[in-house]
């Protein structure tokens, strides 16, 4: 192709982008407005029902419970209840950008999420000598990352931890710069992540993301994966065989990379990725509680 032809092609693409940009902004503003109108918010701007959870227990130990990408502590409230019923103090913080507005979510990123998890762990450790980390999806990755960084973490429960990217996700990441030019927000595929329709409707979730945020999620996954060999604490991984985001072979590969000699991979069936709200979520919480009972004071 001659230079002049390339010049015309680049110019044509530029014109198309400029013509589409106002449409892109209009679609994005519409999505932001609809999401804001769908939920009530408290004085801090947090969606009612998505607030941080702090349940004071009677046992010496405590559990840091971290929610996943795109959701809130509401998604792990069933697990929090099971752990608290066993006597532990449970803290489930609201990670930066989550549980608020789409604009706040779009501005957040991996470094903020990781630092918030570290800060919450330190807060629990000031009052409790024994602290375990626990989390769902990205929260599971953060729970593993914290254990790899801090040997004083007593144990880890990782529920569908997102520590390794599937092939479709890698394709999405490769295409994310192009997708960002076409749309500010992309669909999150939440319906396949929760099989129970009632639970899916009740879940407080953005149900969409931005191409940049997908890259930020990948940063958390890569850092957590890099920390797996350093983990020496007891680890329980709970994974659904029907997880739409984490194929079984990837879950098994990540589990094998964990350095601990006391590790268990517990398979579940009948649920999607968000096993803490889907069918069988009470059994997930009970399993986590029973496993921790011999590993956390």
Q: Residues 191-217: pLDDT tens digits?
A: 589 999 999 999 999 999 898 999 999
> For tokens 């106002």, what's the residue?
22
DSSP letter assigned to residue 225: H
Question: First-to-last CA distance in the chain?
Answer: 71
Output the CA torsion 216→96→138→145 (10° steps).
Answer: 90
Rounded CA-CA distance 236/255 in Å is 9
Answer for the pair 71, 98: CB distance below 8 angstroms, yes or no. Answer: yes
Which of these ranges, 71-85, 129-143, 160-174, has the smallest mean pLDDT? 160-174
162/273 Cα distance (integer angstroms) = 10
Residues in the chain: 297
Helix (H, G, I), strand (E, B) or coil at 90: strand
The pLDDT of residue 171: 75
Report the run of H or E that residue 55 belongs to, with start and end: strand 53-55
Mean pLDDT of the 112-122 span = 98
Q: What is the DSSP letter of 57?
A: -
Most confident of 25-34, 173-182, 265-274: 265-274
Residue 177 CB neighbour total at 10 angstroms: 11
Residue 262 pLDDT: 97
Q: Domain spans of the chain?
A: 53-292
What mean pLDDT, rounded, does the chain reach? 91
Identify which of 107, 253, 268 has the alpha carbon closest to the alpha carbon of residue 166.
253
Query: Nearest 10 degrees: CA dihedral of 156, 49, 103, 190?
Result: 70
Rounded average pLDDT over 71-97: 98
Strand 263-268 to 53-55 pairing:
unpaired
CATH number of 53-292: 3.40.50.1820
Q: Is 266 exposed, middle or buried (0-12, 13-18, 19+ CB in 10 A)?
A: middle
Q: Scan for tokens 């769902």, then name that residue.
A: 136
Question: What is the share, in percent, of the chain residues with pLDDT greater than 90?
Answer: 77
Q: Is the pLDDT of residue 223 over 50?
A: yes
pLDDT of residue 175: 67
pLDDT for residue 1: 47
Statement: residue 13 has pLDDT above 80: no
Cα–Cα distance, 143 to 164 (Å, whole number): 15
Q: Which of 176, 155, 187 is nearest to 289 (CA)?
A: 155
Confidence of residue 20 (pLDDT cuts 50, 70, 90): low
pLDDT at residue 196 in the model: 96
Whether residue 244 has pLDDT greater than 60:
yes
Distance (Å, whole) CA 17 – CA 253: 41
Sheet holding 89-92, edge to edge: 53-55, 89-92, 62-66, 131-136, 156-159, 235-240, 263-268
pLDDT of residue 187: 79
Give the pLDDT mean for 121-131: 96
SS3 266: strand
């Amino acid at each position: 192709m001659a230079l002049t032809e390339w010049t015309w092609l680049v110019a044509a693409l530029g014109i198309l982008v400029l013509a589409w940009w106002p449409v892109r902004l209009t679609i994005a503003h519409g999505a932001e407005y609809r999401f804001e109108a769908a939920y009530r918010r408290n004085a801090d701007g947090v969606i009612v029902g998505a607030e941080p959870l702090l349940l004071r227990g009677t046992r010496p130990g405590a559990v840091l419970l971290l929610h996943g990408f795109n959701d809130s502590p509401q998604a792990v409230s069933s697990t929090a209840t099971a752990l608290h019923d066993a006597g532990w103090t449970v803290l489930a913080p609201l990670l930066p950008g989550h549980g608020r507005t789409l604009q706040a979510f779009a501005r957040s990123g991996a470094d903020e999420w990781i630092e918030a998890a570290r800060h919450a762990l330190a807060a629990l450790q000031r009052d409790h000598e024994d602290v375990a980390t626990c989390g769902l999806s990205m929260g599971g990755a953060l729970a593993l990352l914290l254990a790899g960084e801090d040997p004083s973490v007593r144990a880890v429960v990782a529920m569908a931890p997102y520590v390794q990217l599937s092939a479709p996700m890698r394709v999405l990441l490769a295409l994310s710069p192009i997708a960002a030019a076409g749309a500010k927000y992309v669909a999150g595929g939440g319906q396949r992540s929760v099989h129970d329709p009632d639970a899916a409707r009740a879940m407080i979730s953005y149900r969409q993301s931005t191409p940049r945020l997908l890259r930020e999620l990948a940063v958390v996954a890569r850092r957590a994966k890099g920390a797996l060999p350093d983990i020496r604490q007891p680890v329980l991984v709970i994974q659904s065989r029907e997880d739409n985001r984490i194929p079984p072979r990837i879950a098994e590969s990540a589990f094998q990379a964990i350095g601990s000699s006391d590790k268990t991979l517990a398979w579940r069936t009948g649920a999607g990725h968000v096993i803490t709200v889907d069918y069988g979520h009470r059994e997930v919480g009970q399993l986590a509680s029973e496993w921790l009972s011999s590993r956390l004071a």
